[in-house]
Amino acid sequence: MRTLFGYFRSSAAYRVRIALALKGLEYTHKAVNLMPGVSEQKSDGYRALNPQGRVPFFIDGEVKLSQSPAILEYLDEVYPETPLLPTKAEDRAYVRQLASIIGCDIHPLNNLSVLMKLKAEFGANDEATKRWYADWIVEGFSALEKIVSASAHTGQFTFGDKPGMADIYLAPQMWNARRFEVDVSAFPTLVRIDAACNELEAFKISAPANQPDAPRD
Ligand SMILES: N[C@@H](CCC(=O)N[C@@H](CS)C(=O)NCC(=O)O)C(=O)O
């Protein structure tokens, strides 16, 4: 009885899809079309479910949650098989630090409503908006690259040789970066880890192009 309200291109929903896939948890996908002009997230029906009007929104029986960090932590605590976080507190803090660079400091500044506001109320044209988007990715990825490339924790993935919480944030953000034509070659460790993630079935099936609401040609 699990349902994920998401959108194929939403990187926050993409994180939750990866976690569910890594843990082998089945769910029903409900598409919320965020396309400007459609904006199903703003409908009364959806806002009655999630007053914030954003995706993801996750239902697991009686549990109803927005906010991907909360959903991911919930999944890891309630379905501990295939853990997303290390066992030691200091290691969990390290991984959460990496995830937060993306989840707290890159993604919120590049959210759809922020980009729309920049255009509608602050006179930003497409070029300026694209630069804004790229600048925050480069700022965050630069720090992430320095930390991850220097860390003894780094293996095939950001923490050892199994994918976990920080990788769940990294792969969708890397997808966003490429979509907005950000040159990611300056971040070779992140690119390498992203490639390792994308070799895995859980990441493959969670990719935007493989979602039921992705446009088919
Ligand atoms: N912090 C939230 C962010 C959720 C969020 O901003 N989702 C975006 C899509 S990635 C959204 O629904 N945007 C709709 C809008 O801005 O109107 C999370 O991690 O779940």
Confidence of residue 216 (pLDDT cuts 50, 70, 90): confident
148 phi/psi in degrees, rounded to 5: -70, -40
Rounded to a whole number of angstroms, the CA Rg of the chain reads 17
Question: What's the pLDDT at 52?
Answer: 96
Nearest CA to ligand 1 atom 19: 68
pLDDT at 46 over 80: yes
pLDDT per position as a tens digit, 177-213? 999 999 999 999 999 999 999 999 999 999 999 999 9
Task: Give the helix ranges, DSSP H, for 151-187.
Answer: 165-179
Question: What's the pLDDT at 99?
Answer: 98
Mean pLDDT of the 61-89 span: 98
In short, whether 208's Cβ falls inside 6 Å of ligand 1 is no
In short, whether 113's Cβ falls inside 6 Å of ligand 1 is yes
Write down the mean pLDDT value for the chain.
97
In short, whether 71's Cβ falls inside 6 Å of ligand 1 is no
Q: pTM of the predicted model, to two decimals? A: 0.97
What domains are defined for the chain? 2-82 (3.40.30.10), 89-203 (1.20.1050.10)
Instruction: Write 208-214 long-range contacts (CB < 8 A, 24+).
Output: 208/8, 208/9, 208/14, 208/175, 209/8, 211/6, 211/8, 211/17, 211/29, 211/31, 212/8, 212/29, 212/31, 213/7, 213/8, 213/29, 213/31, 213/33, 214/8
Top mutation candidate among 14, 18, 54 for ligand 1, by most atoms within 8 Å of CB: 54
- The C-alpha atoms of residue 165 and residue 157 are separated, in whole angstroms, by 10
Top mutation candidate among 8, 105, 111 for ligand 1, by most atoms within 8 Å of CB: 111
Neighbours of 191 (CB within 10 A): 16
- Cα 100 to middle of ligand 1, angstroms: 15
Q: Which atom of ligand 1 is nearest to 55's Cα?
A: 12
